[in-house]
Amino acid sequence: MAQQVFWQRKTLQDMSAEEFESLCDGCGKCCLHKLEDEDTGDVYYTKVACRYLDHDTCRCQEYTDRQQLVEACAVLTPDSVKETYWLPETCAYRLIAEGIPLFDWHPLVSGDPDSVHKAGVSVAGRVVHERDVDPEDFEDYVIRWVN
């Protein structure tokens, strides 16, 4: 019988910091500007990316200092995942918190760090830089992901 991997046998709270960080699939969706409907609470993703998101790798270019540079940047913790209601449905943090298995394209499952891009789940090549869009126009950039 094969031994379960850490994300199958541990809760988010039981993971080491390194294990927790490794759950990020690198999709880049967290780094997109989002709009929330004040009446319904629905969250809409835009294709407007944070200025520090590398549009090809979908990684933050200022990861260590991101909270100091971007006030609204959310830093996930094992305890904050359940309250971070805007996480994408494909997000490993959300999936693990809800007891749902990771997708086959997740780099931890596939063993390939680029599998999230190959599967078309990341924002690579599908976003615009925030400097090119007036915040008043973000509504014009609302998107619906198919995955």
Which tens digit of pLDDT belongs to each residue from 74-99? 889 999 999 999 999 999 999 999 99
Query: What mean pLDDT do residues 117-122 have?
Result: 94
Q: Quick one: tokens of 58?
A: 């979908």
Residues 6+ apart with CB under 8 A from 60: 31, 50, 52, 53, 54, 66
pTM, entire model: 0.89
Q: Are 33 and 48 in contact (CB under 8 A)?
A: yes
Helices (H), the chain: 6-9, 17-22, 66-69, 92-97, 107-110, 115-118
Whether residue 29 is predicted with pLDDT greater than 70 in this model: the reply is yes
Report the pLDDT value the prediction gives residue 116, as an integer from 0 to 100: 96
Report the pLDDT value the prediction gives residue 146, as an integer from 0 to 100: 61
Taking the CA atoms of 134, 136, 138 and 141 in sequence, report the sign of the dihedral they define: negative
Count CA atoms closer than 13 A to 7's CA, side-chain side. Answer: 24
Whether residue 1 is predicted with pLDDT greater than 60 in this model: the reply is no
